Chains A and B, each alone.
Chain A
Amino acid sequence: MSTLDLDPIACRAHGLCADLLPEAIDLDEWGYPLLRGGDLPAHLLPAARRAAAACPALALRLTA
Protein backbone atom coordinates (compact mmCIF):
# COMPACT_ATOMS: atom_id res chain seq x y z
CA MET A 1 0.00 0.00 0.00
CA SER A 2 2.46 2.64 -1.17
CA THR A 3 1.44 6.08 -2.30
CA LEU A 4 3.28 9.07 -3.67
CA ASP A 5 3.12 12.23 -1.61
CA LEU A 6 4.09 15.68 -2.91
CA ASP A 7 5.12 18.71 -0.84
CA PRO A 8 3.66 21.50 -3.01
CA ILE A 9 5.75 24.22 -1.35
CA ALA A 10 9.06 22.43 -1.81
CA CYS A 11 8.30 21.45 -5.43
CA ARG A 12 10.16 23.60 -7.97
CA ALA A 13 8.95 21.91 -11.19
CA HIS A 14 12.25 20.27 -12.05
CA GLY A 15 10.21 17.50 -13.67
CA LEU A 16 12.52 14.56 -13.02
CA CYS A 17 9.74 12.67 -11.32
CA ALA A 18 7.56 12.70 -14.45
CA ASP A 19 10.55 11.57 -16.51
CA LEU A 20 11.27 8.60 -14.26
CA LEU A 21 7.66 7.59 -13.56
CA PRO A 22 5.51 8.61 -16.54
CA GLU A 23 3.02 5.85 -15.68
CA ALA A 24 1.99 7.70 -12.54
CA ILE A 25 3.12 11.31 -12.94
CA ASP A 26 2.15 13.85 -15.59
CA LEU A 27 3.15 17.49 -15.76
CA ASP A 28 0.69 20.35 -16.04
CA GLU A 29 1.21 23.19 -18.53
CA TRP A 30 3.43 25.02 -16.02
CA GLY A 31 5.65 21.99 -15.40
CA TYR A 32 4.24 20.97 -12.03
CA PRO A 33 3.46 17.31 -11.25
CA LEU A 34 0.00 15.79 -11.50
CA LEU A 35 0.02 12.61 -9.44
CA ARG A 36 -2.36 9.86 -10.52
CA GLY A 37 -3.21 9.16 -6.92
CA GLY A 38 -4.15 5.99 -5.09
CA ASP A 39 -1.97 2.99 -4.35
CA LEU A 40 0.95 2.32 -6.67
CA PRO A 41 0.98 -1.09 -8.34
CA ALA A 42 3.93 -3.21 -7.19
CA HIS A 43 5.73 -3.18 -10.54
CA LEU A 44 6.04 0.63 -10.37
CA LEU A 45 7.60 0.76 -6.90
CA PRO A 46 11.25 0.62 -8.00
CA ALA A 47 10.72 3.51 -10.42
CA ALA A 48 8.76 5.38 -7.76
CA ARG A 49 11.65 5.07 -5.32
CA ARG A 50 14.04 6.37 -7.97
CA ALA A 51 11.71 9.28 -8.73
CA ALA A 52 11.50 10.26 -5.06
CA ALA A 53 15.26 9.99 -4.64
CA ALA A 54 15.94 11.98 -7.79
CA CYS A 55 13.87 15.05 -6.82
CA PRO A 56 16.35 17.91 -6.33
CA ALA A 57 13.88 19.66 -4.01
CA LEU A 58 13.14 16.53 -1.94
CA ALA A 59 9.51 17.28 -2.60
CA LEU A 60 8.40 13.77 -3.52
CA ARG A 61 7.94 11.04 -0.96
CA LEU A 62 6.92 7.44 -1.20
CA THR A 63 4.88 6.52 1.83
CA ALA A 64 4.50 2.90 2.76
Chain B
Amino acid sequence: MKLLTNGPLTPLAVPDRVTLVNEVLASGLRGRGGGGFPTGRKLQAVIGRKRIVVANGCEGEPDSHKDHVLLSRSPHLVFDGIQVARHAIDATEAVLCVHEGSPLLPGLRQAAAPRGVRIVEVPRRYVASEESALVSFLGGGAAKPTVSPPRPTARGMLVDNVETLAHLAIVARIGAAAFRAGETTLVTTPSGVHEVPVTTRLADLVAGPVLAGGYGGVWLSAARTDDLTVAEAPGVAVFRSPRECGVRDTASILAYLAAESARQCGPCMFGLPAIAADFAELANGGRQALDRLRRRLPVVTGRGACAHPDGAVRMAASALDVFADDVTAHATGAGCTSTTRRTA
Protein backbone atom coordinates (compact mmCIF):
# COMPACT_ATOMS: atom_id res chain seq x y z
CA MET B 1 0.00 0.00 0.00
CA LYS B 2 1.51 3.30 -1.01
CA LEU B 3 1.62 6.56 0.87
CA LEU B 4 1.13 8.94 -2.00
CA THR B 5 -1.61 7.13 -3.88
CA ASN B 6 -4.95 8.57 -2.98
CA GLY B 7 -7.43 5.80 -2.64
CA PRO B 8 -10.87 5.59 -1.07
CA LEU B 9 -10.77 6.09 2.67
CA THR B 10 -11.64 2.74 4.26
CA PRO B 11 -12.66 2.65 7.90
CA LEU B 12 -9.69 2.11 10.13
CA ALA B 13 -10.12 -1.05 12.19
CA VAL B 14 -7.36 -0.96 14.76
CA PRO B 15 -6.55 -4.05 16.81
CA ASP B 16 -6.24 -3.94 20.60
CA ARG B 17 -3.27 -2.10 22.00
CA VAL B 18 -1.09 -5.13 22.75
CA THR B 19 -1.68 -6.74 19.35
CA LEU B 20 -1.07 -3.41 17.67
CA VAL B 21 2.27 -2.81 19.35
CA ASN B 22 3.34 -6.36 18.56
CA GLU B 23 2.43 -5.85 14.92
CA VAL B 24 4.45 -2.64 14.81
CA LEU B 25 7.44 -4.43 16.34
CA ALA B 26 7.09 -7.28 13.86
CA SER B 27 6.81 -4.84 10.95
CA GLY B 28 10.33 -3.56 11.56
CA LEU B 29 9.09 -0.03 10.94
CA ARG B 30 11.77 2.55 11.76
CA GLY B 31 11.44 6.28 12.20
CA ARG B 32 11.61 8.43 9.09
CA GLY B 33 12.75 11.63 10.81
CA GLY B 34 16.42 10.81 10.56
CA GLY B 35 17.01 8.77 13.70
CA GLY B 36 15.75 5.49 12.28
CA PHE B 37 14.71 4.24 15.71
CA PRO B 38 12.40 1.18 15.74
CA THR B 39 8.89 2.59 16.05
CA GLY B 40 7.50 -0.35 18.02
CA ARG B 41 10.18 0.07 20.69
CA LYS B 42 9.44 3.76 20.93
CA LEU B 43 5.74 2.98 21.48
CA GLN B 44 6.72 0.60 24.28
CA ALA B 45 8.96 3.19 25.90
CA VAL B 46 6.24 5.77 26.51
CA ILE B 47 5.50 6.01 30.22
CA GLY B 48 3.79 8.58 32.40
CA ARG B 49 0.36 9.53 33.50
CA LYS B 50 -0.34 12.04 30.73
CA ARG B 51 0.57 10.83 27.25
CA ILE B 52 0.72 12.93 24.11
CA VAL B 53 1.28 12.07 20.46
CA VAL B 54 3.45 14.68 18.78
CA ALA B 55 3.48 14.44 15.00
CA ASN B 56 6.53 16.21 13.63
CA GLY B 57 5.79 17.72 10.26
CA CYS B 58 8.21 20.62 10.49
CA GLU B 59 10.83 19.25 8.09
CA GLY B 60 13.58 21.64 9.12
CA GLU B 61 16.08 20.07 6.72
CA PRO B 62 16.26 22.62 3.86
CA ASP B 63 16.73 20.08 1.06
CA SER B 64 14.01 17.73 2.26
CA HIS B 65 10.48 18.06 0.86
CA LYS B 66 8.98 14.63 1.47
CA ASP B 67 6.98 15.58 4.57
CA HIS B 68 5.56 18.60 2.80
CA VAL B 69 4.50 16.43 -0.15
CA LEU B 70 3.02 13.82 2.19
CA LEU B 71 1.05 16.39 4.18
CA SER B 72 -0.20 18.04 1.07
CA ARG B 73 -1.14 14.86 -0.88
CA SER B 74 -2.10 12.36 1.82
CA PRO B 75 -2.82 14.23 5.04
CA HIS B 76 -5.53 11.70 5.92
CA LEU B 77 -2.90 8.99 6.22
CA VAL B 78 -0.91 11.09 8.67
CA PHE B 79 -4.05 11.75 10.71
CA ASP B 80 -4.84 8.03 10.64
CA GLY B 81 -1.35 7.36 11.91
CA ILE B 82 -1.80 9.89 14.70
CA GLN B 83 -5.00 8.11 15.65
CA VAL B 84 -3.28 4.72 15.65
CA ALA B 85 -0.45 6.10 17.79
CA ARG B 86 -2.93 7.68 20.14
CA HIS B 87 -4.54 4.30 20.62
CA ALA B 88 -1.22 2.49 20.96
CA ILE B 89 -0.03 4.60 23.87
CA ASP B 90 -3.43 5.54 25.28
CA ALA B 91 -2.78 9.22 24.75
CA THR B 92 -5.21 11.91 25.80
CA GLU B 93 -3.85 14.50 23.41
CA ALA B 94 -2.41 14.73 19.92
CA VAL B 95 -0.49 17.55 18.33
CA LEU B 96 0.73 18.14 14.78
CA CYS B 97 3.72 20.47 14.47
CA VAL B 98 4.54 22.44 11.34
CA HIS B 99 6.70 25.50 10.78
CA GLU B 100 5.20 28.94 11.26
CA GLY B 101 3.70 30.28 8.07
CA SER B 102 3.57 26.94 6.31
CA PRO B 103 1.25 27.08 3.27
CA LEU B 104 -0.20 23.77 4.47
CA LEU B 105 -1.66 25.34 7.61
CA PRO B 106 -5.18 26.26 6.47
CA GLY B 107 -5.83 22.79 5.03
CA LEU B 108 -4.31 21.03 8.02
CA ARG B 109 -6.30 23.08 10.50
CA GLN B 110 -9.52 22.13 8.73
CA ALA B 111 -8.63 18.44 8.80
CA ALA B 112 -7.27 18.50 12.34
CA ALA B 113 -10.19 20.11 14.14
CA PRO B 114 -12.81 17.34 13.74
CA ARG B 115 -10.14 14.76 14.55
CA GLY B 116 -9.20 16.33 17.87
CA VAL B 117 -5.64 17.10 16.80
CA ARG B 118 -4.12 20.42 17.82
CA ILE B 119 -1.96 22.21 15.24
CA VAL B 120 1.13 23.90 16.65
CA GLU B 121 3.26 26.38 14.73
CA VAL B 122 6.98 26.03 15.43
CA PRO B 123 9.63 28.72 14.79
CA ARG B 124 11.42 28.35 11.47
CA ARG B 125 14.83 27.33 12.79
CA TYR B 126 16.88 24.28 11.89
CA VAL B 127 17.11 22.85 15.41
CA ALA B 128 13.60 23.91 16.49
CA SER B 129 12.06 20.64 15.29
CA GLU B 130 14.63 18.40 16.92
CA GLU B 131 12.78 16.00 19.21
CA SER B 132 13.73 17.56 22.55
CA ALA B 133 13.40 21.09 21.17
CA LEU B 134 9.81 20.34 20.18
CA VAL B 135 9.09 18.93 23.62
CA SER B 136 10.59 22.03 25.23
CA PHE B 137 8.55 24.32 22.97
CA LEU B 138 5.31 22.44 23.62
CA GLY B 139 5.96 22.78 27.34
CA GLY B 140 6.16 26.56 27.04
CA GLY B 141 9.93 26.82 26.72
CA ALA B 142 12.19 27.79 23.86
CA ALA B 143 12.35 25.67 20.71
CA LYS B 144 15.88 24.62 21.57
CA PRO B 145 17.27 21.16 22.28
CA THR B 146 17.62 20.11 25.91
CA VAL B 147 19.96 17.68 27.62
CA SER B 148 18.91 14.06 27.62
CA PRO B 149 18.00 12.09 29.77
CA PRO B 150 15.12 12.26 30.34
CA ARG B 151 13.98 11.26 26.87
CA PRO B 152 10.61 12.52 25.60
CA THR B 153 9.12 9.02 25.97
CA ALA B 154 10.00 9.05 29.66
CA ARG B 155 7.89 12.19 29.94
CA GLY B 156 4.87 10.64 28.24
CA MET B 157 5.54 12.16 24.85
CA LEU B 158 5.67 10.17 21.63
CA VAL B 159 7.41 12.29 18.99
CA ASP B 160 7.23 10.78 15.52
CA ASN B 161 7.89 12.10 12.05
CA VAL B 162 4.71 12.45 9.98
CA GLU B 163 5.91 9.88 7.44
CA THR B 164 6.55 7.39 10.23
CA LEU B 165 2.98 7.90 11.38
CA ALA B 166 1.66 7.38 7.86
CA HIS B 167 3.49 4.04 7.69
CA LEU B 168 2.12 3.21 11.14
CA ALA B 169 -1.40 3.68 9.79
CA ILE B 170 -0.59 1.20 7.04
CA VAL B 171 0.81 -1.37 9.47
CA ALA B 172 -2.39 -1.10 11.49
CA ARG B 173 -4.45 -1.76 8.37
CA ILE B 174 -2.56 -4.52 6.57
CA GLY B 175 -0.42 -6.07 9.29
CA ALA B 176 3.31 -6.59 9.69
CA ALA B 177 3.86 -9.24 7.02
CA ALA B 178 2.14 -7.39 4.21
CA PHE B 179 3.86 -4.17 5.29
CA ARG B 180 7.31 -5.76 5.17
CA ALA B 181 6.62 -7.28 1.77
CA GLY B 182 5.85 -3.91 0.23
CA GLU B 183 7.57 -1.37 2.47
CA THR B 184 8.25 1.92 0.77
CA THR B 185 9.89 5.14 1.84
CA LEU B 186 9.78 8.74 0.68
CA VAL B 187 13.03 10.20 -0.62
CA THR B 188 13.96 13.66 -1.82
CA THR B 189 16.42 13.69 -4.70
CA PRO B 190 17.56 16.46 -7.05
CA SER B 191 14.63 15.49 -9.28
CA GLY B 192 12.02 15.80 -6.53
CA VAL B 193 10.18 13.60 -4.04
CA HIS B 194 9.71 9.92 -4.87
CA GLU B 195 8.14 6.97 -3.12
CA VAL B 196 10.35 3.91 -3.57
CA PRO B 197 10.74 0.41 -2.12
CA VAL B 198 13.18 0.44 0.80
CA THR B 199 15.34 -2.06 -1.06
CA THR B 200 16.01 0.42 -3.87
CA ARG B 201 19.71 0.91 -4.54
CA LEU B 202 20.91 4.50 -4.11
CA ALA B 203 22.65 4.28 -7.47
CA ASP B 204 19.23 3.86 -9.11
CA LEU B 205 18.07 7.15 -7.59
CA VAL B 206 21.05 9.46 -7.73
CA ALA B 207 24.45 9.75 -9.33
CA GLY B 208 27.28 10.16 -6.83
CA PRO B 209 28.94 12.00 -5.25
CA VAL B 210 25.92 12.92 -3.18
CA LEU B 211 25.19 14.31 0.27
CA ALA B 212 22.96 11.76 2.00
CA GLY B 213 20.97 12.44 5.15
CA GLY B 214 20.66 16.20 5.03
CA TYR B 215 23.08 18.92 6.03
CA GLY B 216 24.30 16.83 8.95
CA GLY B 217 24.61 13.71 6.87
CA VAL B 218 27.42 12.10 4.92
CA TRP B 219 28.93 12.69 1.48
CA LEU B 220 28.93 9.46 -0.45
CA SER B 221 31.18 8.73 -3.40
CA ALA B 222 29.74 7.30 -6.60
CA ALA B 223 31.17 3.91 -5.65
CA ARG B 224 29.43 4.01 -2.29
CA THR B 225 26.02 4.73 -3.85
CA ASP B 226 26.46 1.45 -5.70
CA ASP B 227 26.83 -0.37 -2.37
CA LEU B 228 23.92 1.05 -0.42
CA THR B 229 20.16 0.71 -0.49
CA VAL B 230 17.83 3.50 0.58
CA ALA B 231 17.19 1.67 3.86
CA GLU B 232 20.92 1.67 4.62
CA ALA B 233 21.53 5.36 3.91
CA PRO B 234 22.07 7.45 7.05
CA GLY B 235 19.69 10.08 8.40
CA VAL B 236 16.69 11.58 6.65
CA ALA B 237 16.16 10.23 3.11
CA VAL B 238 17.35 13.27 1.21
CA PHE B 239 20.08 13.28 -1.42
CA ARG B 240 21.79 16.40 -2.71
CA SER B 241 24.25 16.74 -5.56
CA PRO B 242 27.06 19.29 -5.21
CA ARG B 243 26.14 22.67 -6.70
CA GLU B 244 29.58 23.87 -7.79
CA CYS B 245 32.18 21.66 -6.19
CA GLY B 246 31.98 19.59 -3.02
CA VAL B 247 34.39 21.86 -1.16
CA ARG B 248 32.43 25.05 -1.83
CA ASP B 249 29.16 23.30 -1.15
CA THR B 250 30.43 22.01 2.18
CA ALA B 251 31.68 25.48 3.12
CA SER B 252 28.29 27.04 2.48
CA ILE B 253 26.43 24.26 4.31
CA LEU B 254 28.74 24.63 7.31
CA ALA B 255 28.09 28.38 7.35
CA TYR B 256 24.38 27.64 7.52
CA LEU B 257 24.78 25.05 10.27
CA ALA B 258 26.94 27.43 12.31
CA ALA B 259 24.31 30.17 12.01
CA GLU B 260 21.60 27.74 13.07
CA SER B 261 23.28 26.66 16.30
CA ALA B 262 21.00 27.12 19.31
CA ARG B 263 24.08 28.63 20.96
CA GLN B 264 23.60 26.77 24.19
CA CYS B 265 26.78 24.72 24.27
CA GLY B 266 30.27 26.16 23.86
CA PRO B 267 31.79 23.60 21.49
CA CYS B 268 28.89 24.15 19.04
CA MET B 269 28.52 27.90 19.54
CA PHE B 270 32.24 28.52 18.93
CA GLY B 271 33.34 25.36 17.18
CA LEU B 272 30.90 25.43 14.28
CA PRO B 273 31.70 29.00 13.20
CA ALA B 274 35.39 28.11 13.50
CA ILE B 275 35.20 25.07 11.24
CA ALA B 276 32.89 26.92 8.86
CA ALA B 277 35.49 29.69 8.57
CA ASP B 278 38.23 27.09 8.12
CA PHE B 279 36.33 25.41 5.28
CA ALA B 280 35.65 28.76 3.60
CA GLU B 281 39.34 29.60 3.84
CA LEU B 282 40.18 26.16 2.45
CA ALA B 283 37.84 26.75 -0.48
CA ASN B 284 39.67 29.98 -1.22
CA GLY B 285 43.06 28.33 -1.11
CA GLY B 286 44.38 27.69 2.42
CA ARG B 287 46.72 24.89 3.45
CA GLN B 288 46.74 25.98 7.08
CA ALA B 289 42.95 25.95 7.16
CA LEU B 290 43.07 22.25 6.31
CA ASP B 291 45.43 21.55 9.21
CA ARG B 292 43.22 23.53 11.59
CA LEU B 293 40.18 21.59 10.39
CA ARG B 294 41.81 18.24 11.00
CA ARG B 295 42.71 19.37 14.52
CA ARG B 296 39.31 20.89 15.30
CA LEU B 297 36.83 18.38 13.90
CA PRO B 298 37.40 15.72 16.60
CA VAL B 299 37.17 18.40 19.31
CA VAL B 300 33.83 19.85 18.21
CA THR B 301 31.91 16.59 17.99
CA GLY B 302 30.11 14.79 20.82
CA ARG B 303 30.23 17.61 23.34
CA GLY B 304 26.83 19.25 23.03
CA ALA B 305 23.31 18.62 24.20
CA CYS B 306 22.15 17.54 20.76
CA ALA B 307 23.57 16.06 17.57
CA HIS B 308 23.67 19.33 15.62
CA PRO B 309 27.46 19.82 15.87
CA ASP B 310 28.03 16.07 15.45
CA GLY B 311 26.22 16.16 12.12
CA ALA B 312 28.19 19.17 10.94
CA VAL B 313 31.48 17.48 11.83
CA ARG B 314 30.41 14.21 10.22
CA MET B 315 29.46 16.02 7.03
CA ALA B 316 32.69 18.02 6.94
CA ALA B 317 34.87 14.98 7.61
CA SER B 318 33.14 13.02 4.86
CA ALA B 319 33.74 15.92 2.46
CA LEU B 320 37.47 15.86 3.21
CA ASP B 321 37.39 12.17 2.36
CA VAL B 322 35.10 12.04 -0.67
CA PHE B 323 36.45 15.23 -2.26
CA ALA B 324 40.08 14.58 -1.32
CA ASP B 325 41.34 15.57 -4.77
CA ASP B 326 39.38 18.82 -4.76
CA VAL B 327 40.52 19.51 -1.20
CA THR B 328 44.15 19.15 -2.22
CA ALA B 329 43.55 21.34 -5.26
CA HIS B 330 41.94 24.07 -3.16
CA ALA B 331 44.52 23.82 -0.38
CA THR B 332 47.43 24.19 -2.74
CA GLY B 333 45.67 26.92 -4.70
CA ALA B 334 45.90 24.79 -7.84
CA GLY B 335 42.29 25.41 -8.80
CA CYS B 336 39.39 23.08 -8.29
CA THR B 337 39.06 19.95 -10.40
CA SER B 338 35.39 20.69 -10.83
CA THR B 339 36.05 23.74 -12.98
CA THR B 340 37.10 21.33 -15.69
CA ARG B 341 34.06 19.10 -15.31
CA ARG B 342 31.37 21.68 -14.70
CA THR B 343 28.05 20.35 -15.97
CA ALA B 344 25.70 22.42 -18.09
Q: Which of B107-115, B261-269, B278-286 contacts A (4 or more CB under 8 A)?
A: B261-269
Q: Does B40 contact A (CB under 8 A)?
A: no
Complex contact B299–A8 (CB within 8 A) = no
Within the complex, the shortest CB–CB distance from B271 to chain A, in Å, comes to 7
Complex contact B147–A11 (CB within 8 A) = no
Complex contact A32–B267 (CB within 8 A) = yes
Q: Does A42 contact B (CB under 8 A)?
A: no
Q: How far is the CA of A64 from the CA of B94 in the complex (A)?
A: 39
Q: Report chain A residues within 8 Å CB of B267.
A: 8, 28, 30, 32
Q: Report chain A residues within 8 Å CB of B146.
A: 9
Within the complex, the shortest CB–CB distance from B135 to chain A, in Å, comes to 15
Q: Does B304 contact A (CB under 8 A)?
A: yes
Q: How far is the CA of A23 from the CA of B265 in the complex (A)?
A: 23
Q: Report chain B residues within 8 Å CB of A13.
A: 266
**Which 7 A/B pairs are nearest by Cβ-Cβ distance?**
A32-B266, A30-B270, A8-B265, A9-B264, A9-B305, A8-B305, A8-B304
Q: Report chain B residues within 8 Å CB of A34.
A: 299, 303
Given A8-B264, A28-B266, 17 other A-B contacts at CB below 8 A?
A8-B147, A8-B266, A8-B267, A8-B304, A9-B265, A13-B266, A28-B267, A28-B271, A29-B299, A30-B266, A30-B267, A30-B270, A30-B271, A30-B274, A31-B266, A32-B270, A34-B299
Q: Which residue of A lies closest to B303 (CB)?
A: A8
Q: Report chain A residues within 8 Å CB of B270.
A: 30, 32
Q: How far is the CA of A13 from the CA of B265 in the complex (A)?
A: 10
23 contacts between A and B (CB under 8 A): A7-B147, A8-B264, A8-B265, A8-B267, A8-B304, A8-B305, A9-B264, A9-B305, A11-B266, A13-B266, A28-B271, A28-B299, A29-B299, A30-B266, A30-B267, A30-B270, A30-B274, A31-B266, A32-B267, A32-B270, A32-B303, A34-B299, A34-B303
Q: Report chain A residues within 8 Å CB of B304.
A: 8
Within the complex, the shortest CB–CB distance from B317 to chain A, in Å, comes to 18
Q: Which of A30-49 contact B (CB under 8 A)?
A: 30-32, 34
Q: How far is the CA of A32 from the CA of B299 in the complex (A)?
A: 10
Q: Report chain B residues within 8 Å CB of A30.
A: 266-267, 270-271, 274
Q: How far is the CA of A31 from the CA of B271 in the complex (A)?
A: 11
Q: Report chain A residues within 8 Å CB of B266.
A: 8, 11, 13, 28, 30-32
Q: Which residue of A lies closest to B268 (CB)?
A: A8
Q: Report chain B residues within 8 Å CB of A31.
A: 266
Within the complex, the shortest CB–CB distance from A59 to chain B, in Å, comes to 10
Q: Write the A7-32 contact mask toward B (1 if CB under 8 angstroms, else 0).
A: 11101010000000000000011111
Q: Which of B135-154 contact A (CB under 8 A)?
A: 146-147
Q: Which residue of B lies closest to A10 (CB)?
A: B147
Q: Report chain B residues within 8 Å CB of A7.
A: 147
Within the complex, the shortest CB–CB distance from B96 to chain A, in Å, comes to 28
Q: How far is the CA of A9 from the CA of B133 in the complex (A)?
A: 13
Partner of B147 from A9, A28, A32 at Cβ < 8 Å: A9
Q: Which residue of A lies closest to B296 (CB)?
A: A29
**Residue among A7, A8, A29 with most chain B CB within 10 A:** A8
Q: Which residue of B lies closest to A12 (CB)?
A: B266
Q: Report chain A residues within 8 Å CB of B303.
A: 8, 32, 34
Q: Report chain B residues within 8 Å CB of A9.
A: 146-147, 264-265, 305
Within the complex, the shortest CB–CB distance from A46 to chain B, in Å, comes to 26
Q: How far is the CA of A28 from the CA of B267 in the complex (A)?
A: 8
Q: How far is the CA of A9 from the CA of B262 in the complex (A)?
A: 10
Q: How far is the CA of A17 from the CA of B218 in the complex (A)?
A: 35
Q: Which residue of A lies closest to B264 (CB)?
A: A9
Q: How far is the CA of A31 from the CA of B265 in the complex (A)?
A: 12
Within the complex, the shortest CB–CB distance from B294 to chain A, in Å, comes to 14
